[in-house]
Amino acid sequence: MESTTVKVKIVRCPACGGDSIFASSNLYRPFCCERCKNMDLGAWASESFRLPTETPPDDQPYGDARLQ
């Protein structure tokens, strides 16, 4: 009888940096646990992950100036 070994992919948890199993058995993937998943969701909800942008002066229109 042949035994088959399943190789488990381990990735770094984006929240805590710990090991996380990247498989369908991990309901929180790519996070390691529910806590890390919820911390990341909370950061998005509070807009902590915003990209920095500069607000144009009031006399300059939004968007691409070439389209005006």
Q: Is 41 helix (H, G, I), strand (E, B) or coil?
A: helix
Phi, psi for residue 11 in degrees, rounded to 5 = -120, 170
| Most confident listed range (7-11, 34-38, 41-45, 61-65) | 34-38
Domain coverage including residue 26: 8-50
Sorting pLDDT into bands at 50, 70 and 90, what band is 14? very high
Q: How many domains does the chain have?
A: 1
Question: Using an 8 Å Cβ cutoff, are 13 and 32 in contact?
Answer: yes
Cα(40)–Cα(23) distance, rounded to whole angstroms? 19
Q: Enter the tokens of residue 4.
A: 């088959």
Q: What's residue 50's pLDDT?
A: 78
Cα(31)–Cα(19) distance, rounded to whole angstroms? 9
Domain with residue 43: its CATH number is: 3.30.50.10
Answer yes or no: is pLDDT of 40 > 90. yes
Q: Does residue 32 form part of some domain?
A: yes
